[in-house]
Amino acid sequence: MFTTESTEGNQFWNETYFVPHFQPIVNAINRSISAYEVLGRQFNPEENTYQSLGGLFHNREHDPVPIYNIDRILREKAVQTLKESSLRTKLFFNMMPNFLSRVHHTDLFAENFHIIQLIEKYGIDRNQVVIEITEDEFDGSIERLIQIVQIFRDYGLKIAIDDLGTGFSNLERIGYLHPDIMKVDIRIMRESLNKNSFKQVLGAISEMSQKLGSQLLFEGIETEEEVNLALSMGANLLQGYYFSTPNPHFLNRNTFSDKMKSVLETFSSVRSRELREKGIREQKIIDQLQDLFYELSDSKEEDFPFRFGQILGSLPREILKVFVCDAEGYQITPTYDLDRMNGGYLERSRQIGNNYAWKPYFLKHKEESERFRKKWGVTYPLYDINNQNQYVIFTFSLMAGKILVAQVSWSE
């Protein structure tokens, strides 16, 4: 039991008033609640309300001992609630690296960790526990943290990394800990989501999660638009007030099944239409370029640069830059850049001899043209930071192993 002296006069500071709350995490694949994040709340009997303890846990000025004890109380109550419910669901427990490194600074054994003691005490399945590493700053030993996380993982617990995009939760934490689940708090980026750069960051996180084999969880979701953004980034786990506020009880597993069915069907329909429109747009460029450069198929080697230059005036207006490489990736024509002010193309002869064989789009084009006899290649949208516009790169196999490279405007 805690005293008012140790809690700065808070009269409700005893363990009966600390109540774990559970915010559901919805799996987009089966449309059901597959997990809950455990969050700390303090009950105020005078107002019959619950108050978040998030500010307390993240305030580095408070004495960490009573805070750690409160965390243990909440954790045990949550595990006990899970045991009594008999549900086959997962619980996400937030654990701050600084607390872990301070408390476990001597011998590291699984039986010394409170969460593992609780799993053994209540006999719950260790697959039902996810350790969520969360903190804006970390000043402990990274080697010690890696050891602690490895103990959790060896015991059979999953590891999640919280709040991607802030503090220690960036690339350093991902690289060291290789999480099973990567959490993106959409609230961090909400005011900037309409900016292309932030969407590109989210896209990079999505691609990184796939390459690492980590599941992607978007939290802080409040609108259907944000659900659609999460789905478009490949997130299969969804959490936020759009579904439910944290509450002291578990919900029916299928509470949001109908809601998700509607969202997924709408998303699939819209996304399919977007992909069809993208395909039509790509094919239009492909047909135009193919018609233009077909005329070069009978060109002699020495005439090719001259005849290539003659075609420039007929290029589709979306072409921003174009040049030709040989089969080894060496540029054999000038680069022709669109003159955005006056129209026409500016010739850059100094770039002849540049090599692009190492570029992903060039390597992919060569491999697919050799393996599948494919003449065309198109990249996903890229971003030109100087001109502030999106573009894609088209590659096209010409005669005698030559490869056309065209940068095409792709802004909405």
**Residue ranges of the domains in the chain?**
5-252, 271-409
Q: What pLDDT shows up at residue 73?
A: 94
pLDDT beyond 80 at 312: yes
Taking residues 378-384, report their average pLDDT: 90
pLDDT beyond 80 at 129: yes
Q: Decide which of 120 and 103 is more confident.
A: 120
Q: What pLDDT shows up at residue 171?
A: 73
Taking residues 209-234, report their average pLDDT: 94
Least confidently predicted of 148-162, 240-254, 341-355, 378-392: 378-392
The pLDDT-based confidence of 104 (bands split at 50, 70, 90) is low
pLDDT beyond 70 at 85: yes
pLDDT beyond 90 at 11: no
Q: What pLDDT shows up at residue 252?
A: 97
Q: What pLDDT shows up at residue 4?
A: 34
Least confidently predicted of 189-193, 272-276, 384-388: 189-193
Taking residues 8-37, report their average pLDDT: 87
Average predicted confidence (pLDDT) for the chain: 87
Taking residues 226-250, report their average pLDDT: 95
Is 19:41 a contact under the CB 8 Å cutoff? Answer: yes
pLDDT beyond 60 at 2: no
pLDDT beyond 80 at 355: yes
The pLDDT-based confidence of 143 (bands split at 50, 70, 90) is confident
Q: Which residues neighbour 263 within 8 Å (Cβ) at sequence distance 6 or greater?
A: 224, 227, 228
Q: What pLDDT shows up at residue 147?
A: 86
Is 78:20 a contact under the CB 8 Å cutoff? Answer: yes
Range 5-252: architecture per CATH: Alpha-Beta Barrel (3.20)
The pLDDT-based confidence of 8 (bands split at 50, 70, 90) is very low
Spatial distance between the Cα atoms of 372 and 48, rounded to a whole number of angstroms: 68
Pairing of strands 403-409, 389-397: antiparallel
pLDDT beyond 80 at 262: yes
Beta bridge partners of 52: 41
Q: What pLDDT shows up at residue 107?
A: 65
Q: What pLDDT shows up at residue 5?
A: 38
pLDDT beyond 90 at 108: no
User: Alpha carbon of 53 to those of 14, 40, 114, 133, 182: distances in Å?
Assistant: 14, 5, 20, 17, 23
Q: What pLDDT shows up at residue 12?
A: 54
- Percent of the chain clearing pLDDT 90 (strictly above): 57
pLDDT beyond 80 at 103: no
pLDDT beyond 70 at 52: yes
Q: State the pTM of this model.
A: 0.87
Hunting for tokens 């409040």 — which residue is that? 222
Assess whether the region 5-252 and the region 271-409 belong to the same CATH fold: no
- Quickly name the fold that domain 271-409 has: Beta-Lactamase (3.30.450)
pLDDT beyond 50 at 363: yes
